[in-house]
Structure 1
Amino acid sequence: MKTIKFLGFLLCICWQNTAQNNIPHLAKNGNATQLMVANKPFLMIAGEVHNSSASTIEYMTPLFPKLKKMNLNSVFVTLAWEQFEPEEGVYDYTLVDAIIENAKKNDLKVCLLWFASWKNGESSYTPLWVKKNTKRFFRVKTKEGKEIETMSPFCEATKIADAKAFAILMKHLKEVDTAQTVILMQPQNEVGMFQDIDYNKVSLKLFEKKVPKTLISYLKKNKAHLDAYVKKAWSINNYKTKGTWKEVFGDTPEAKAFFTTWQYATYINYGAKTGRAAYNLPMMVNSWIVQRPEDLPGVYPNGVPVSRVIDIWKAAAPDIDIQSLDIYLSNFKEIVAMYDRDDNPLLVPESKAEVSRAFYAFGEHDAICFSPFGIEDAADNFVFTKSYELLNEVQHLIKKI
C-alpha cells in the first residue's frame, strides 16, 4: 500500500512538472530566442485591435471571426483595470472570459494588454476609486507643483493595488484558460511622463539617494556591451561606481532620465513578479519610441523602454522578458535593429500594416512577433491578408532558424 501511494505521489509530481513545462515560455534556439507554445516554437503572425474593441462582449464577438479570416494566428487585446476591478476588491471576469472564449472559438492565441496605472504616458484606464483618492494614490507633479492626470511611479499604494489586481487576473487565467489561449502578457502600455522628472517630494528625495547597487553591478558587468547612450552618460564622471544619480551620471538630463526609468521599471517589475507567482506566463513591455535623435527625455515619454535605456530596464526588471517597440516611423530597419539584442529578442507589437515589415522582421531578425495596430482596419486589404496567408504557409521554415 505504501508503494502504491508513493508511486501515486511521483505521478502527481511528474504531472505537475509537465503542466508547468507546457506553459508558454521563451527558449533559446542557437542565437535566436523563440516563444514556445505547447512546447513548440510559435510565430506570432498577429495584429493589435483598437483600444476599445474588446470593451464590450457585443462589439468583440463578431470581431474575432474577421481577424481569423485575415489569416492571423494571434491577437493583442486590451483589458482595462477600471473594468476588471470597478470597486476595490471587487473583480469582474466577464470581459477576460469573453476574450478567451472568442479567441478559442476562432483558433487565435492572445497577448493580453493590461491597461492599468498607465497607457500612452497617461492614466486613463485607472479605476475611478483610484483616480478620486489623490491623497492615497498621488500623481506626477510638474516643476510648478501642479498635479497632472498621470499616476506617479513613486506611489507605493498605486503599485501595490495595481499588482494585486494583476495577480488576481493571472490566477484567474491559470484556472480558466486550460487551453492556454493567452500566451503572453503586457503589463502597462507605453509608460512614461512628458517631463524630465516627477517633481513630487518623494521623487526628489530619492533622486538625492545613491544609485542602487543592482544598477551599478549591471553597468560594471556589461560595460563593454552597454548602449552608447548609457555608456556616454556614465563616462562623464569617469565611470563612477558609487554616489548619487548626479554624482554618477552628472547633472544632466540623462541622470534624471535613468532615475525615472529605474522607477518605472522597478514598479512594473513588481507587478510582473507578483503576477508570475500566480501564473508564470512570459511578460513584455512596449515603447513609444524616440521620434528624432535630438529629442530629450520628456519630449517622448520619460521612463519608457526606448532603445537608449534598455540596459536600465534589464537591470531593474528581470521579470520582464522583452522590451519591445511601437514603430510607425519610416526607418523601420534601422530602429528594429536597436531592439534585437542577445538579451532581447525582437517583438513588434505595434506597427503600420505594411506586410513587408513582417517579412523583414521574421527573416532578418528572427522576430517572435509582428503585429500592426488597429488590425481590423486592414480587413479589406487584399495584399495584406494574402501576405499573412503566405506567412502562415512558410512559418515552419522560419521557425527552423
Structure 2
Amino acid sequence: MSVEFIAPYNSPQKTPENLSLESTLKDLAVFNFQVESSSLAKDVARLFQAHPLLPGVILTVNGEFLGMISRRRFMERMSRPYGVDIFADRPIKALYQIDQTELLILPGIALIVMAAQRAVQRPPELLYEPIVVQLEPQVYRLLDVHQVLVALSQIHQQATWYISELYYNLSVTQSELEAANFQLKAANSELYRLANSDGLTQVANRHCFNEYLEKEWQQLGEAGAELSLILCDIDFFKKYNDTYGHQAGDACLQQVAKTIVEAVNYAAGEVSEETMVARYGGEEFAVILPRIASDFAVSIAEEIRVWVKKLEIENIKSPVSCWVTLSLGVASTVPRPETSKKDLIAAADRSLYQAKDAGRDRVILGAIKLDK
C-alpha cells in the first residue's frame, strides 16, 4: 500500500491566516493519502483507524487516479450486516465500484468561496463528501469540506471588517471607497460566474441549468410559447476513458462542450442568446432552447451531432464509429399547468435512450407523457 500525508500547515484542521476573496484551494492544507485499488479493504480500515482525521482515500491504478472513497461511505458499508465478511479480504476497488458516487473535483486554483458554494450545492447525501483537488495533471489531493467552510467564514469576516474600516475611517477618500466597492463587485461577479459554471468544460453547471429551466418554464408558460430541450450523451465514453486515460477524457469533454456551444450558436441564429448549454452529468450535456419548436430543435440537435463527429476525436473501442459520437434526445412542449419541467426532462431522457437503443450516433424526438 502506498501511503503519504502532506500538510503544508501544522494540522490539516488549522486554517491559514490572512485569507481573502482571492485565496484558492492551494492555500489550504490537503490530504495526500493514496492506495492502489488492489489493496485489501481491511488494510484501508487500518489506515482510517490510524488517522482519525482522514476524510477519505484516493484510489489509483498503477499510480493513475481512479477515484475516491470517503471515510463515511467506507465505514457505513463495512458496518452493514456481513460487511466485514464480504469486503475485508477483497480489493478496495470492489467496494468502491459498488458504492461509487459522483465526485466533486476542483482545480487547485479554484477560489475558496467558489468551492464552498459548489460543495453545499450537492445533494444532502453528498454534502460532507471530501472535495478532490487537482493540483496539476494526475496530481490529486483530498480536502475536508469542514475546512473549506471554516476558511469561508474567515474570508467573510475579513471582507466585512475591511469594508467597515473603509467606510468608518474618516481618512479614506471617496475614490478609495469607490475602488474598494468596484473590487468587491468584481469579486462577487466572478464568484457568481464560477459558482454557475462547470469547472472542467466552462459551460453552465447542473445548478445553473435547473435555475434557468425553472425561469424559462414560468415565463414561457405565461407567454404560451414553446420550450425545447436536448440531452446529449457521448457514446461509449467509459471505453474512451479506459483506452486513452482520464486526462484525455477531460480534454475530450472540453472539446465536445465547446463544439456544442458553437453548433448551437450557429444553428439557432438570432435566438442563440436565449439558449443555454450545460453539463448535465459526467459525459452528458443539455441544451435549453426557449421559443424553439420541435422541428427546429431536431435540426439544431442534428447540427450538434455532425459538428462533434467532424472533430474526428479518435475512439478506437467504439462499436459505432472510429470517432467520438453523440446520441441525442429531443423533447418540446408549451409549459402548461398539467405538465412540469420534470416531464420535459423525462421525455428528452427517453428519447436519448431510444437513440442509444437504435444504434447511437443519432437524434430522436420524443413526446411528453401525461398521467391519466
TM-score grouping bracket, smaller chain normalisation:
under 0.3
What is the TM-score with the length of structure 2 in the denominator?
A: 0.22
RCO (CA 8 Å, sep 6+): is it higher in 1 or 2?
A: 1
Max radius of gyration: which structure? 2
* TM-score, normalised relative to structure 1: 0.21
